[in-house]
Amino acid sequence: MKKFIQSSFRRELLVSFLAVSVLPLIVCCLFLIQLFKVKVGRDFEKKDMELAGAVEQQLMTLFDGYGAAAEVLCMDPVVADALQNETYGRKNEVYRRLYSATSSYREMAGFNLYNPDGSCLYSTGNRIYGQSLPVYWGILREAHAHPNDLIIRSDLESDGDEVLRFARAVTGDSEECSGYFVVTMTAEHFAKALSGTYSGQDGICILNGFLETVYSVGTASGETVGTVLRSRFLQGEPLTEVWNNNSIYVSSLGDTGLYSVLIRPHVFTSDTTRSMYTVLIFMAAGSFLLSVAVAVGISSFLSKPIHVLHDAMDEVQEGKLDTHVDMERPDEFGELAENFNIMTKRISSYMEERVQREKELNETQIAMMQSQLNPHFLYNTLDTMKWVAKANHIPEIATLAAKLAKILRTSISSAQFITLREEMTLVESYAEIQKIRFNGKFDFRYEIDPETEEIMVPKLIVQPIVENAVIHGLADADEGHIFVRAHREKAELVIEVSDDGCGISDDVIRLLGNRDKEQRKGHIGFYNVDTIIRLHYGENYGLRAERLEGGGTRVTIRIPAAAAETQMQG
Amino acid sequence: MKGKRKVWAVCLGIAVAAMSAAGCASVESGGQGPEKVSEEKRLTVYTSHKQEVYAPIVKEFEERTGIWVEVVPGGTTELLERIRKEGEKSPCDVMFGGGVESYEVYKDCFAPYESTQSDHIESIYRTEDHAWTAFTELPIVLIYNNKLVDAAAAPRGFEDLLDGNWDGKVSFADPGKSGSSCTMLETMIQVLPMRENEILEQFAKVLNYRMAAGSGAVLDEVSEGKYLVGLTLEETAKKYIDRGAALSIVYPREGTSAVADGCAVIKGAEHEENAKLFVDFIVSPDVQRLAADELYRRTVRDDIIPSQKEEGSIMDFDLEWAVKNQESILERWAALMDGNGGGS
């Protein structure tokens, strides 16, 4: 994947753009949605809680009113008397008291008075709710057991309707139970009591202490909410979890043991959340497409010149050096193209130069190969000359031819290094020739240590020195001596060429010290030897020339003996 | 590379923060409910009683003891089968409702318990092994439509039904479906002087080989005048009469059976103590009085004087024989009905 992305400039750009556009967008949107949810949820929760509080308040006011009415009636001796005596004469008086005590609440409940056997004697309702109530059972039993308390119980009417009952024993001014004051709230009564506290979308549910439905209305109607809450409670699950997209608020109603449950539509139904996420997805998709478009645009803007240059380079690689890149851009890519063009131009001119030089070199080589024929021919000719001279008894010519042939053989051999002995033989041959040429005006001798004989030296390093001595040192003399001596000095081979000629000039000695090639006119051999030695052995070795006290010149060649041997072995 | 990883880590962190914010948002409802219920304050009751019977009793039990009762309603056989199948792991603590003859069959599922009230329970409802405790007795009665049948002409007993005057006019529930119908057949066999086969054949003929779909249908059919006479339980008949149905009750002069419905603690019950409390409660004077006064049932206690006089004579029903022969009687009955192109 990573490789796939990194293999293309365009994909790298795309990924970067996604990272800077889509990712922050998604994160921001998620944040906003969550923040919005939390904030709005909290606001709504607050409102809902207020509403739940209002419901609770309303019911509690009502229940307190029942309590007050019960307090008045239960302590009333007239009522107590009337309940103990079924044939009581002042029924109207009892009714008057019942109606006046309950005047504010009669729409919200039915108020009944029961005799000690549980038969209803007085009622504010048009029909008497529950003709009789068992005194050994349920609420009257409880009221009998706790005569000073208002007992609250949910109850089932004989027709199966759930009602909420409040009961208190009527004691009058004695301690004895003379009957019961019972308040009964049916669904109708609850509807009146709660009217205005909830809207059509809401639901209210009154549950008893065992979370059994006493009354339910609106979205909570039916017994479902109570059943759900009770089963949640018995399973140990949180009661207030969102149910059917409704928020649930449970509050206990004072010390009545009842719970009021408010059901409000959940602010964020899965629908709204889903639509928010859908918007988010569309936005992300939009920014994704934008990223793709921009990535494509920018990458083609950037990669087009790169492609052009890339193609041009390919052409150059294939050898088309006249490739030219046309790019009319003022930016770095334009510069790059310009530089590329200059570069190809340079390369092509350099190549032309090279070809020219190669051509010249080839010509030289051909010439050299042609000239190589000559030495062999010369050598053979000289050999022939020697024999012709011997046959005709001209010993000088024979000697000249033989010596020249010897020199030629050594000089045309491909070996760069020869033994000192071979070199000295060559020098001797040369001297013989020169002796004949100069009519024996000089004499040549040499003396080399036997241990130096086999030391390898560069070819023709002694001959040019001797030639120099013959041509420059002894040119004007009538008689001269040239002496070559070689010996070993520690690890060095020292070859001295001395003559008793006119002596070397100071200029030459100085120039030799300077090693200035340009000014060494007339003593080419000298300098060549010096250069050869230096090239082979380094700056510490070379030639040294000096004028002798008694006239003449001594040239000393100094090369490493061991190095020479190694050279040979190599 | 490292830098890149850091960037990813930051992004991930933000995402996680956003998600956790989402988590916070989902808990929106509020308020305070009751405290958690401990195991000592729980009880699970399987009951085949109708809600109008079990609801007030369970409610009063909850109020008096503070025990939270979970009720699982269902048919008698269905629930007993379920208890047997669930075995030791059954969530059921107590089985409430259903004829004691069924309890006899499923005895092995119950933990014997002798109620603290057993001294006051009538001797015929006391068993030696205390596998179950009787709740109420339900006498079998005849009913007739008092708009269509003159009181003087109405049948006086089981024998009258078979005298030929009522052929095709009697409604009777399928004993294969209704346990009380089965008891009715057994009662007739025990109470009438004729042989078993004769009774079954004659009665099938009286029914014209047709049976009502269920015990409730018998009441509807008779009160609507579709059929003139029916066999049902006193409890059901009284309930219908109280609601204004044009029915009259006849207590068979031969005497009638009153098979009790029972209650039993389940073997290995998780809340055994509460189950025992419940059994004690249902045979307590208060519940027994309520059953007699409000639920049209007859008490099994000897110390309760019901507000209404108990009519009719109760025969000594041979429960052991009934349990033993139930299957064969039902088979024969089904064969009779099928063989004569009957069915419901």
The domain segmentation of chain A, as residue ranges, is 75-191, 199-268, 341-414, 416-569
Task: Determine, for residues A250 and B285 on separate chains, whether the beta-carbon distance falls below 8 Å.
Answer: no
Handedness of CA B205, B208, B209, B212 (dihedral sign): negative
Secondary structure (3-state) at B70: strand
Q: What is the total residue count of chain A?
A: 570
Q: Among A298-312, A500-514, B69-83, B277-291, name the one with the lowest average pLDDT.
A: A500-514
Which residues of A fall within a CB distance of 8 Å from B26?
A: 242
Which residues of A fall within a CB distance of 8 Å from B295?
A: none
**Fold of the domain spanning A75-191:** Beta-Lactamase (3.30.450)
A315 class by beta-carbon count within 10 Å (0-12 exposed, 13-18 middle, 19+ buried): middle
The 8-class DSSP code of residue B133 comes to E
Q: What is the total residue count of chain B?
A: 344
pLDDT digit of tens for each residue in chain B (344 aa)? 455 666 666 656 666 665 555 544 443 345 556 677 888 899 999 999 988 889 889 999 999 999 999 999 988 888 999 999 998 888 999 999 888 888 888 889 999 999 898 888 888 888 888 899 999 988 999 999 999 999 888 999 999 999 888 999 999 998 888 888 888 999 999 988 888 889 999 999 999 999 998 888 999 999 999 999 999 999 999 999 988 889 999 999 888 888 888 999 999 889 999 999 999 999 999 999 888 888 888 888 888 877 777 777 888 888 888 888 888 999 999 998 887 754 44
The closest of A255, A164, A250, A146 to A203, measured between CA atoms, is A250
Here the tokens at position B161 are: 């039904």
Which residues are CB-contacts of A69 (< 8 A; sequence separation ≥ 6)? Answer: A101, A102, A105, A111, A181, A183
Task: Determine, for residues B286 and A141 on separate chains, whether the beta-carbon distance falls below 8 Å.
Answer: yes
Tokens 């920014």, located at residue: A287
Which residues of A fall within a CB distance of 8 Å from B293?
A: 134
SS3 percent helix, strand, coil of chain A, rounded to 5, is 55, 20, 25
CA gap A166, A172 in Å, rounded: 18
Given CB atoms, is A235 within the 8 Å cutoff of chain B? no
Q: A495 near A486, Cβ under 8 Å?
A: yes
Between A116 and B21, the higher pLDDT residue: A116
pLDDT reported for residue B5: 64
The average confidence (pLDDT) of chain A is: 83
Confidence of residue A240 (pLDDT cuts 50, 70, 90): confident
Q: How far is CA B77 from the centre of its chain?
A: 10
Here the tokens at position A166 are: 């409040």
**Cα dihedral B309→B315→B321→B325 (10° resolution):** -80
Q: A473 near A502, Cβ under 8 Å?
A: yes
The 8-class DSSP code of residue A485 comes to E
Check if A75-191 and A199-268 are the same fold. yes
The closest of A490, A455, A449, A498 to A473, measured between CA atoms, is A498
Given CB atoms, is A27 within the 8 Å cutoff of chain B? yes
**Which class would CATH give A199-268?**
alpha beta
Here the tokens at position A510 are: 């100085």
Task: Determine, for residues A52 and B31 on separate chains, whether the beta-carbon distance falls below 8 Å.
Answer: yes
Task: Determine, for residues B285 and A136 on separate chains, whether the beta-carbon distance falls below 8 Å.
Answer: yes
Tokens 């979890």, located at residue: A241
pLDDT (tens digit per residue) in A318-351: 888 788 888 888 888 888 888 888 988 898 899 8
Q: Which helix (H) or strand (E) holds B263?
A: strand B258-266
Here the tokens at position A151 are: 């007992």
- H-helix segments, A392-462: 395-412, 420-437
Secondary structure (3-state) at B90: coil
Q: Which helix (H) or strand (E) holds A216?
A: strand A213-218
A245 class by beta-carbon count within 10 Å (0-12 exposed, 13-18 middle, 19+ buried): middle
Give CA separation, A398 vs A380, A388, A408, A434, in Å: 13, 8, 15, 14
Given CB atoms, is A12 within the 8 Å cutoff of chain B? no
- Best mutation target among A37, A161, A255 (most B Cβ atoms within 10 Å) is A37
pLDDT reported for residue B343: 43
**For chain B, what are the domain ranges?**
40-137+259-299, 139-257+318-339
Q: CB A392: neighbour CB atoms within 10 A? A: 10
CA gap A20, A27 in Å, rounded: 11
Q: Which CATH number fits domain B139-257+318-339: 3.30.9.10, 3.40.190.10, 3.30.70.141, 3.20.20.70?
A: 3.40.190.10
Closest chain A residue by Cα to residue B66: A210
Closest chain A residue by Cα to residue B41: A234
pLDDT reported for residue A568: 47
Here the tokens at position A487 are: 């010996």
Between B239 and A254, the higher pLDDT residue: B239
Residues 260-319 of A with CB under 8 A from B: 262, 266-268
Q: A25 near A303, Cβ under 8 Å?
A: no
CA gap B234, A290 in Å, rounded: 83
Going across the sheet that includes A258-265, the strands are A213-218, A203-207, A258-265, A246-253, B30-31
Which residues are CB-contacts of A142 (< 8 A; sequence separation ≥ 6)? Answer: A151, A153, A167, B63
Which residues are CB-contacts of B78 (< 8 A; sequence separation ≥ 6)? Answer: B48
Tokens 């906003």, located at residue: A32
pLDDT (tens digit per residue) in A158-189: 777 888 999 999 988 887 888 899 998 988 88
Above 60 in pLDDT, residue A566?
no
Q: Which amino acid is at A326?
A: D
Above 50 in pLDDT, residue A71?
yes
Check if B40-137+259-299 and B139-257+318-339 are the same fold. yes
Q: B125 near B300, Cβ under 8 Å?
A: yes
pLDDT reported for residue B252: 92
CA gap A435, A399 in Å, rounded: 11
Here the tokens at position A558 are: 């100094």
Confidence of residue A553 (pLDDT cuts 50, 70, 90): confident
Above 90 in pLDDT, residue A547?
no
CA gap B210, B173 in Å, rounded: 9
pLDDT reported for residue B70: 92
The closest of A144, A145, A181 to A68, measured between CA atoms, is A181
Q: B229 near B170, Cβ under 8 Å?
A: yes
Q: What residues does B70 pair with on adjacent strands?
A: B44
Which member of A27, A236, A249 has the closest CB to residue B31?
A: A249
Which residues of A fall within a CB distance of 8 Å from B33?
A: 211, 229, 233, 239-240, 250, 252, 259
Closest chain A residue by Cα to residue B289: A136
Give CA separation, A408 vs A1, A399, A455, in Å: 76, 14, 22
Secondary structure (3-state) at B68: strand
Closest CA of chain A from B195, distance in Å: 44
Given CB atoms, is A129 within the 8 Å cutoff of chain B? no
Which residues are CB-contacts of A37 (< 8 A; sequence separation ≥ 6)? Answer: A267, A268, A273, B21, B22, B25
CATH of domain A416-569: 3.30.565.10
- Best mutation target among A26, A140, A210, A268 (most B Cβ atoms within 10 Å) is A210
Size of interface A-B (CB pairs under 8 A): 109
Given CB atoms, is B26 within the 8 Å cutoff of chain A? yes
**Fold of the domain spanning B40-137+259-299:** D-Maltodextrin-Binding Protein; domain 2 (3.40.190)
